[in-house]
Each structure stands twice: as C-alpha cells, then as structure tokens.
Amino acid sequence: MNALLVAAGPWDGRGHHMWGGGSAWLGGSLMMLVWAGLIAGGVWLVVRAASDRRPAGRPEAGRAREALADRYAKGEISTEEYQERLAHLGTG
C-alpha cells in the first residue's frame, strides 16, 4: 500500500486538499467568476424590472405644442393651420 501512495505523487498523508496538482486554483477562480456573473445578472434583472419602461410622453411634442401655441397667440399662423399642426402632433 505504501508503494501506491509513494507512486501517487507528492501527497504525504496530511491531506493537501487537492492543491498538489498545480491547477486547483483554476476551479476556484472559475467558480468565483460564475457566482459573480450570476449575482451581477440578478442585479441587472431586478434593476431592469424595477425601472419604469412606460413612455412618459414625448417631451419634444410638448415643446412643439408650446411653440405652436406661441405662434398662434402671436397671430403668425391661422386657426386652421394651428389645428392641423396640433392634430399632426397627436393631440387633436
């Protein structure tokens, strides 16, 4: 039996916990990367699910409506043109 242990390698019976091969660090490192990836993916999913994805309206359209109302108030455009452009903006 001792001949088999000696032939098996540097293990001297004290239990090196599989560090004798020289590549055991790779398994631990890969496992840490897997866990870090899973945690980061979970955080990303929670943040994405919690964020408000509904469109809050088009701010450009709001500014366009204000500019259109200003032009109408100044008399630069007619009522028909104002209503046509307002309908084109989606509020008509």
Name which residue leads in pLDDT, 46 or 27: 46
Per-residue pLDDT at 3 exceeds 70: no
Quote the tokens at residue 18.
Answer: 């599989």
Per-residue pLDDT at 22 exceeds 90: no
7 within a domain of the structure (yes/no): no
Nearest C-alpha neighbor of 18 from the set 5, 27, 7: 27
The residue range of the domain holding 77 is 59-88
4 within a domain of the structure (yes/no): no
Tens digits of residue pLDDT in 40-88:
999 999 998 888 666 555 666 678 888 989 999 999 999 999 999 888 8
Per-residue pLDDT at 92 exceeds 50: no
47 within a domain of the structure (yes/no): yes
Number of Cβ within a 10 Å radius of residue 83: 13
Same domain, 46 and 67: no
20 within a domain of the structure (yes/no): no
Its pTM stands at 0.38
65 within a domain of the structure (yes/no): yes
8 within a domain of the structure (yes/no): no
Quote the tokens at residue 92.
Answer: 């008509």
